[in-house]
Structure 1
């Protein structure tokens, strides 16, 4: 009789999320493949579909081998491939690029928190696949002129030492120009938040649920405020205005996705936003920027809690295994 291979709590969580997220990614990617006209993007999406299927099968096998129950998967019942396109090919490429970047971060964490060698090897392969997908999408976006504007700052003649503690301040006359790390975080957060907001705006348009529509519209308002803050700081520092993507949405009000799928996707994106803000908070050196990220992170965490409550209310959320059965 074959012994059951035990999993640590981290491995259970990692595999559970990999299985659930990739069962969502697989049919959603099939939908975008069906709507995409661009041949290069079509081939990239087929690669994304292929790796999603592989990662579903392997994560499922690990969980079943350990006798762990599986969460309710997403499948063809959650995606209507015959529904009209919700966005242009350009926006599809941008969305998939941002999601592949987020997946890379998740897989890196899964690798570092897993113990078993076979599971670590699985996440090492996932990392390789997500990097390959991200690079293909980056090439596509750059070729299409969508990776703009390029931001450049003056190159100093030499590295300077910080000579005054006012370097850390950020209020009124004491405010120094933002540095390269702060620019990088602002631009990264703006781009990811803009995609999140645009996606949410489309979900508000197509959901048949009045309650969820109101929830998504509230999310759009929150994220628009965040975008205004990021752009205002960049503008103060004579940096360019970053693009928005609402013009890449179509007018269709027909939803290709189930409410369960859309709400789950919003909880993932909101969780990623709070993680990004936390990372930015730890890296910025101007105090006013730290205050912004602290406040914005609190707002997305509250919105994420409201999203989780809606998941529970609608019976959409499966419970991860607990430490002790009550």
Structure 2
């Protein structure tokens, strides 16, 4: 055995692998019910690929946890968190758009997580997973293009010559002249609008079927937040004479029978909210206009508070699995007799 293999995992490696396991455990359950109800064979092929990728990741991580002597997270299961007899809740077109969002989030997370890994075998595992996710993202995008479901970002004129910013008014957003949006500002407005549209459909569907009243109300609150944020971002685009498009084929059925446990649905929405917090932070970083920065900062806090409240509900119901962490050495000292 080489010295590389004898080195213990770092906090970054443990934390990221734990997160990856939990996310794929949840995704596998989501895909399971999608596959039971999907009628479009081409969309089903994409879901099968995604489901198999999640299962392969879970199997590989279980083996790694066992070898390292770490407990395998409980995560989510088909037996405890999926109701196979429940009718479909969403349309096939939503399945594809949902999958598009999730594989993009996955690829982004794996890329961000990679620098936190030191062991080369673990870095290679994350790299392989990311490549598979990116290939799946390409497959899903091609499928969406073929089916007319892919919504492109707005087009802008091509730059004909190089120019430089000459005035500090470049940063204005509230007072004085307000410059047109830059390409990256448009891109992030568009992407945030798209994510909000998908998440709104998701929380609307979940609110229909959740069994616990507090969880239902939480989803309804999430729906209001998403719609409000969508309207704000859309208005910024409209004022620039830029089109705002969302897929029109999304559909929620009238079913009130839950395909998933409240525990899984709440975890899912809380996790997506945390991902949106990162999105808003990234958007703030590439949006120099003051009004955009202030809007994203407000959304950042609003969504972070919403995610925390979801976490509190999970804790109250003893649904939140504890992530690996450091030892409380002060407590150990107090317990010493």
The corresponding residue for 2:158 is: 155
Separation in structure 2 between the aligned mates of residue 244 and residue 40 of structure 1, nearest angstrom: 18
Taking only aligned residues, the RMSD between alpha carbons, in angstroms, comes to 1.8
The offset of 1:149, in angstroms, is 5.1
Map 1:171-190 → 2, pairs under 5 A = 171-190=174-193
**What does residue 48 of structure 1 align with?**
50
Query: 1:107 matched to which residue of 2?
Result: 110
CA shift at 1:150, angstroms?
4.8
Q: Return 5+ residue gaps in structure 1 as ranges.
A: none
For residues 159 and 249 of structure 1, what CA distance do their matches in structure 2 show? 48
Which TM-score applies when normalising by structure 2?
A: 0.93
Aligned partner of 1:282 in structure 2 is: 285
Aligned partners of 2:192, 2:130: CA distance in 1, in Å?
A: 22
Mapping of 1:58-207 within 5 angstroms?
Answer: 58-76=60-78, 77-148=80-151, 150-207=153-210
The aligned counterpart of 1:212 is 215
Structure 1 position 153, deviation (Å): 1.4
Which of 225, 229, 234 is the equivalent residue of 2:228?
225
Asked if the contact 2:153–2:190 (Cα under 8 Å) also holds between the matched residues in 1, the reply is: no
Q: Distance in 1 between matches of 2:264 and 2:248?
A: 22
User: 2: distance between equivalents of 1:11 and 1:61?
Assistant: 15
CA distance, structure 2, for counterparts of residue 318 and residue 155 of structure 1: 50
The equivalent of 1:16 in structure 2 is 18
What TM-score comes out, normalization by structure 1 length? 0.96
Partner Cα distance (1:316, 1:244) in 2: 34
Report the equivalent of 2:312: 309
* Offset of residue 4 of structure 1: 6.9
Equivalent-residue separation in structure 2 for 1:82 and 1:135 (angstroms):
32
User: Any conservation in 2 of the 1:15–1:63 contact (CA below 8 Å)?
Assistant: no
Q: Count matched residues.
A: 326
The offset of 1:73, in angstroms, is 2.2
How far, CA to CA, are the matches of 2:272 and 2:312 in structure 1?
16
The question of whether the paired residues in 1 share the 8 Å contact of 2:169 and 2:176 is answered with: no
Query: Displaced runs of 4+ in structure 1, greater than 3 A?
Result: 1-5, 244-247
1:263·1:307 contact (CA, 8 Å) conserved in 2?
A: yes
Q: Deviation string for 1:176-207 (max 9, x for gaps)? A: 11111100000011101111121011111110
Gaps of 5+ in 2: 332-337
**Distance in 2 between the 1:132 and 1:40 partners?**
16
